Amino acid sequence: MQANLDSMFERREVVRVVDVGDDGRIRIRSQKKRRPDWEELIEAEQIPGEFRAPVAEFVVLSKHQLRIKVETVDGRSWAKEIGIDELHRWKHDPSVSNWVARSCGRLIRFEPYGDAWLTIQDRMRPILCDVWDPIHVGIVVRDEYDGYIADLYDLMQGGADHAGLVAFLLEVETRVMGMHRNAAEPRNEAARRLLELDLPVVRRTPTDRV
């Protein structure tokens, strides 16, 4: 399975209803432990009726883009949204003197298997952050690799072996992160531990992108 760049910023997360407008639209806000980093105004029809009330919480599939602000060596500055495959380019661009990137989320859809997906993420996340951790931020940013969980889960449910998981992790490191000199042992150990996990089985539909 090839790393899907379109899905790298997609993850399941808990959101809360913070306001229900007179026009029927609903404002939701992410409920990350680190910080609530996005909120969105959505149509009521996008979520089931039982969740259309203040303080209701539920799980959604969300997409996170990066908004990057760049300062160049010749004094110019600009900001725009970029895809994950573009990030390593700015890290190594000699014309860039400073840059800051921030993740901004938006709703894709309500997640009917929310509890199962949260369990899957909670069990896989420590392996990705503490064992694999190719960019050495997992101890601080615990959701850094959440965008890879669904693809890894699909590989495992499809019968992928140790070599298949290692190949996927290597592709993420090289093709997505632009890192070509990482040691092999973290990938090998992470793949071994992932295959040992007892994970819920989530029924998939043809419309599921991740």
Residues facing residue 39 across a β-bridge: 29
Q: Is the pLDDT of residue 203 over 80?
A: no
**Structure-block tokens of residue 61:** 């599939």
- For residue 41, the one-letter residue type is L
Looking at per-residue confidence, does 8 or 200 come out higher?
200
**Structure-block tokens of residue 121:** 């993420």
Residue with tokens 């290692």: 166
Q: Is the pLDDT of residue 178 over 90?
A: no
pLDDT of residue 13: 92
Q: Is the pLDDT of residue 207 over 60?
A: no
Looking at per-residue confidence, does 137 or 52 come out higher?
52
Question: Cα(143)–Cα(64) distance, rounded to whole angstroms?
Answer: 12
Instruction: Report pLDDT digits (tens) over 98-120.
Output: 877 776 778 999 999 999 999 99
Q: How many other β-carbons are positioned within 10 Å of the β-carbon of residue 183? A: 8
Instruction: Report pLDDT digits (tens) over 127-148.
Output: 999 999 998 888 888 888 998 9
Q: Average per-residue pLDDT in the chain?
A: 86
Determine whether 108 is exposed, middle or buried from the number of CB atoms within 10 Å of its CB (0-12, 13-18, 19+): middle
